[in-house]
């Protein structure tokens, strides 16, 4: 079986010399330079932030704050206008309902008056027709009653002729009918 080969990474300096190199920030000889660059970097960053970035951020925040306040004021104004419009709508709706009810009442009264007038005219027409019909009936009845005597005379003569076989004298038939009426 083949032996496993392992590669070990070594930290050797070129040329095979083995020096112990440490992590540069932890080197005590470089502390002074590191602290100097830290101070320079801090001052530069602080200056950039305080002069450029922070005023822009402050302006953006202030703009947003003003925009939000403006939007809230606009929203409050719109809300009050909406409430006024709602109140005006309710008032207009109530007025329209009142007008509609008044118009309906007026129309109802007008139609009732017209209906009463039409009914009275129709009743008068019907009463007139009824009176005319009663007059016609009365005249027809009187006319029919005037013919009853002649019909009774003719009927009595026909019955007597049929029973006896002789035509009776008209005077005798008339006398008999007068006797029955009395």
Question: Would you state the pLDDT for residue 116?
Answer: 92
Question: Would you state the pLDDT for residue 14?
Answer: 54
Q: Rounded to the nearest 5°, which phi and psi values hold at 14?
A: -60, 140
Average pLDDT over residues 143-152: 81
Average pLDDT over residues 84-109: 94
What's the pLDDT tens digit per position in 64-76?
A: 999 999 999 999 9
DSSP 10: -
Question: Would you state the pLDDT for residue 1?
Answer: 46
Q: Measure the CA–CA gap between 177 and 168, rounded to whole angstroms.
A: 13
Q: Measure the CA–CA gap between 93 and 100, rounded to whole angstroms.
A: 10
Q: Rounded to the nearest 5°, which phi and psi values hold at 23?
A: -80, 120
Question: Would you state the pLDDT for residue 69?
Answer: 95
- Ranges of each domain in the chain: 30-181
Tell me what the pLDDT averaged over the chain comes to.
Answer: 85
Q: Which alpha helices (H) appear in the chain, and where do they start and end? A: 31-48, 54-164, 170-181
Which residues are CB-contacts of 157 (< 8 A; sequence separation ≥ 6)? 167, 168, 170, 173
What's the pLDDT tens digit per position in 10-48?
A: 455 555 555 567 777 788 888 888 899 999 999 999 999
Q: Measure the CA–CA gap between 40 and 47, rounded to whole angstroms.
A: 10
pTM above 0.85, yes or no: no
Is the predicted pLDDT of residue 108 greater than 90, yes or no?
yes
Token pair 């970035």 is found at 53
SS3 146: helix
Contact 21, 11 (CB under 8 A): yes
Average pLDDT over residues 105-133: 92
Q: Measure the CA–CA gap between 65 and 57, rounded to whole angstroms.
A: 12
């Amino acid at each position: 079986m083949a032996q496993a080969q392992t590669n070990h990474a070594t930290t050797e300096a070129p040329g095979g010399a083995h020096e112990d190199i440490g992590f540069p920030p932890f080197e005590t000889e470089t502390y002074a330079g590191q602290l100097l660059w830290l101070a320079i970097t801090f001052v530069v960053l602080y200056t950039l932030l305080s002069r450029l970035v922070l005023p822009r951020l402050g302006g953006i925040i202030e703009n947003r704050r003003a925009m939000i306040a403006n939007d809230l004021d606009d929203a409050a104004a719109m809300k009050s206008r909406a409430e006024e419009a709602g109140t005006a709508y309710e008032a207009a709706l109530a007025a329209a309902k009142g007008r509609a009810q008044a118009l309906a009442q007026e129309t109802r009264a007008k139609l009732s008056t017209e209906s009463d007038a039409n009914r009275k005219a129709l009743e008068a027409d019907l009463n007139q027709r009824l009176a005319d019909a009663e007059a016609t009936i009365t005249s027809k009845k009187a006319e029919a009653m005037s013919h009853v005597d002649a019909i009774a005379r003719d009927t009595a003569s026909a019955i007597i002729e049929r029973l006896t076989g002789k035509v009776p004298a008209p005077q005798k038939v008339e006398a008999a009918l007068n006797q029955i009426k009395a």
